[in-house]
Structure 1
Amino acid sequence: MIPLLVLATFVVILNETIMINAIPRLMTALNITEQTAQWLSTAFMLTMAAVIPITGWFLQRVTTRAAYTTAMGLFLLGTALAGLAPVFEVLLAARIIQAAGTAVMMPLLMTTLMRVVPVSERGRVMGNVTLAISVAPAMGPTVSGLILQLGSWRLLFAVVLPIAALITWGGLRQLKNVGEPEFSTIDWPSVVTAAAGFGGLVYGLSRFQGGDIRVAGAIVGAGLALIAVFVVRQIVLQRRGTPLLDLRTLRHRTFTVALILMSVAFMAMLGSMILLPLYLQNLRGLSPLDTGLLVMPGGLAMGLLGPAVGRLFDRYGGRVLVVPGAVGITLSLAGFTQVTLAMPYWQLLGLHALLMVSLAATFTPVFTLGLGAVPSSLYSHASSILSTLQQVAAAFGTALVITVMGARAETVRAQGVTESLALLDGMRLAFVIGAVLSVAVIITALLLPNRADNVGEHAGFGH
């Protein structure tokens, strides 16, 4: 059952970054600007951020099979519609439908895993999950680059559709219901403030890329204000026992530390995923396909190491993996601060591979320790919080590196430096920010316990 869910999650998450290389083709085919085309990725991320907070409630209310059918049904519908889209507006709507399915799939996988896998084997299984959640976004540009060599942008969806349909069919044959659904009413003010707050925050952060910084800041501020309203509302609802997203998960110290570590690590990962292709294509003149092939070894290493990291975690605990992993993240980002216009490609490949391997050593233990620290009754809510923060961290990391790079390049350009050297200087500073941020990963890694608290094994909340 778990391998099927992992496979389904891999396919749906792959689509989050699969459009990056297709933007030039789409601009020509649909007669749109680059800013308009970017909405295909932004809208996907926005929908994920808006829908995921609601999944904690949804997963408790429906059966496992119903949640799986909803997730994959939405994804298949969106994929089919995207492949046939006659105009940009239809393609954008299709991406939003795809994202809604993806938003349900991620917490469903995490929640089911925590319920059915014994504590002694969670690391090994979570290693396979890391493969889906972390490697899929990294592989998206490479996969799309290869497919676009063969035909039009529609081929991206034509290839994914039969694979997703086959996985859906296999899943419905094998999947069994786990746990009993609990009936609870939905609090619509919570739904609205969660969707508008998290969606607004991610949209505001995305507006920092080439937009008006004051407008972007105002949208981020409004998003944060709505999230604050949402949090207060959940605290009130918790007293009645009917929160949309149960924030009592944050009382568990290990879970909260894991959230902080994961968020900062995701910001570092997404920041490098944005900066490296910009450097390779804009400054070194590589094609999207060549760029994809250069970063592919790191992505593959990360995926292949996931299960091995999981087995090591089961045997030795988390610290032996997370602390060296955190140090590796900082070292690789520090290495990237030294990029030049002539740095050998093998060095770039090595630094990227070190970053990906270090993230692999970090993510699996962090996910397992964090979710293992909450009671089983809160698994669906903990999974939703974890997945929501991943989206916010990804958006924040992207906005941060683009803003820092742009501002620095503008300052240096004003001093009469050439365009390419100004851009390079901006990228270096962005990598410096990433390296400084990653020090927080080392600090939080030292705060994590070696083993999960296993609160989920005991009755009651324990807090």
Structure 2
Amino acid sequence: MPILISLLLSGFIGMFSETALNVALSDLMNVLQITPSTAQWLTTAYLLTLGILVPISGLLLQWFTTRQLFVAALIFSILGTFLAAISPNFEFLLTARVVQAMGTSLLLPLMFNTILVIIPAEKRGAAMGMIGLVIMVAPAIGPTIAGLLIESLSWHWIFWLSLPFLVIALLFGIVYMQNVTEVTKPKIDVLSIILSSLGFGGIVFGFSSAGEAEGWGSPKVIFSIIVGVVALLLFVIRQNTMKKPMINLRAFKYPMFVVGVAMVFICMMVILSSMLILPMYLQQGQGYTAFKAGLLLLPGGLINGLMSPIMGRLFDKYGPKWLVIPGLVIVAVTLWFFSSINAASTVAFIIVLHSALMIGVSMIFMPAQTNGINQLPMELYPDGTAIMNTLQQVAGAIGTALAVSIMTAGSKNYLKGVDNPADPANLLPAFTQGVQNAFIFGLIMSVVGLILAFFIRRVIVQHKAQAPMH
């Protein structure tokens, strides 16, 4: 339990600061005198750092003890948060975000891997449900608390608020954290690290740039994605020919792991694109303040967090199929309703739909993820968690970029069909059309997930959990 508390507390703050800043972006644009595409880099740089470092986490888990990695992760998080809290300008804040992301990129795989090793398989759903509680509630309350802090204090306080919790988690970890994995110190292959960084980094960078002001046709976007795809192909070939690969891709030989990865990927694309588009629509389309927009999204986030442990227990009892399929049906129906959102949509309508979306997501995410990793043999746990966590970051970047570009294209198409595109009266309907199109994209993704869900089977785990090593 103390190991779990220190991991969950630090994970919570890591996820909180990731989304809290999204609400502060419009405020930061005014204060720091930057454009929206420049401000977007505060999120993009964070995702990019995770995309580059998380794949290496499987290797780090074999080179350093659990304690060493936990302490290092928290020192990076504390340093990054402190630097962000005292940031005088944009460049300083961007650097602080990268340092913060270095801490999170060590912490997330460590959290998953530790739980997989110390918790027996038949209780694993409940433990992963607790992680779900942290991973989903933190981003949900992030915008609300950030909105309140921005209205009454300043954006710096988003980071000042996080700092004491990180220090408590570090002290807790120093006292209670135990080593749960063996240090085998495999040979480090520099070429694999370079190819992985270029591959995941290139794809995240390319899609993020397309989602900003660049557009899909820009040479920078096309070049980044091509470099990313080529580097990834070379990385896969290299991993499959090495005796001791950096990430063991044999994990993909297990069919339920592949289905689990696909489910998590689709889920992250849907949830992150919706969580970006919906607050944007509430603020720009409905004219709400950051705080009010955050408050409207709070019930759904809290419901999702509370549902995660319940879904974990149901998963332990009944397996994934009876959760994942109904979950995807709920998500698809909700997104279909969201695709008709307009200026006449009431607050109650938005809260109910958002809450239903979050219930659906909680039924898919954790059961599919746990079931997938359960099929892996124990020695592939670090690789399995590294693959899952890396693809979550990539899915987040791709999902948000596609949603923003679909939204922009929808708005432009609407304005092409009106007599006077410059007339302000046409701007709101054009924006609404773009938002509706972005939700239709989410609907299509959830239908693809639903088809995949019919292939999911419950995994029976043969091996036992380990006791922590001192």
Q: TM-score, normalised by structure 1?
A: 0.95
Shift of 1:114: 0.6
The answer to whether the 8 Å contact 1:205/1:395 transfers is yes
The aligned counterpart of 2:303 is: 301
CA–CA distance in 2 between the matches of 1:338 and 1:35?
28
**Unmatched 5+ residue regions in structure 1?**
459-463
The answer to whether the 8 Å contact 2:17/2:159 transfers is no
Alignment size in residue pairs = 455
Shift of 1:227: 1.1
The aligned counterpart of 2:190 is: 188
The aligned counterpart of 2:224 is: 219
Does residue 437 in structure 1 map to residue 445 in structure 2? yes
Does residue 233 in structure 1 map to residue 238 in structure 2? yes
For residues 30-429 of structure 1, the aligned pairs below 5 Å read 30-209=32-211, 210-215=213-218, 216-237=221-242, 240=243, 242-416=244-418, 418-429=426-437
Shift of 1:363: 1.4
Match of 1:452 among 459, 463, 469: 459
CA–CA distance in 2 between the matches of 1:453 and 1:192?
37
Shift of 1:319: 1.5
After superposition, the C-alpha distances for 1:416-446 in whole angstroms (9 at most, x for unaligned) are 1611111111111221121111012212222
The answer to whether the 8 Å contact 1:76/1:164 transfers is yes
Shift of 1:139: 2.9
Q: Specify the SS of the correspondent of 1:183.
A: coil
Amino acid at match of 1:374: L
CA–CA distance in 2 between the matches of 1:263 and 1:447?
16
CA–CA distance in 1 between the matches of 2:210 and 2:139?
21
**Unmatched 5+ residue regions in structure 2?**
466-470
CA–CA distance in 2 between the matches of 1:30 and 1:277?
22
Shift of 1:329: 0.8
After superposition, the C-alpha distances for 1:215-242 in whole angstroms (9 at most, x for unaligned) are 22332122111111111111122xx2x2
Percent identity over paired residues: 36
Amino acid at match of 2:239: Q
Cα RMSD, aligned residues only: 1.6
The answer to whether the 8 Å contact 1:372/1:455 transfers is no
Shift of 1:390: 0.4
Moved more, 145-154 or 109-118: 145-154
Amino acid at match of 2:461: N
After superposition, the C-alpha distances for 1:55-76 in whole angstroms (9 at most, x for unaligned) are 0000111111011011111111
The answer to whether the 8 Å contact 1:297/1:353 transfers is yes
Shift of 1:135: 3.0
After superposition, the C-alpha distances for 1:44-98 in whole angstroms (9 at most, x for unaligned) are 0110001000000001111110110111111111111111223322211111010
Q: Specify the SS of the correspondent of 2:210.
A: coil
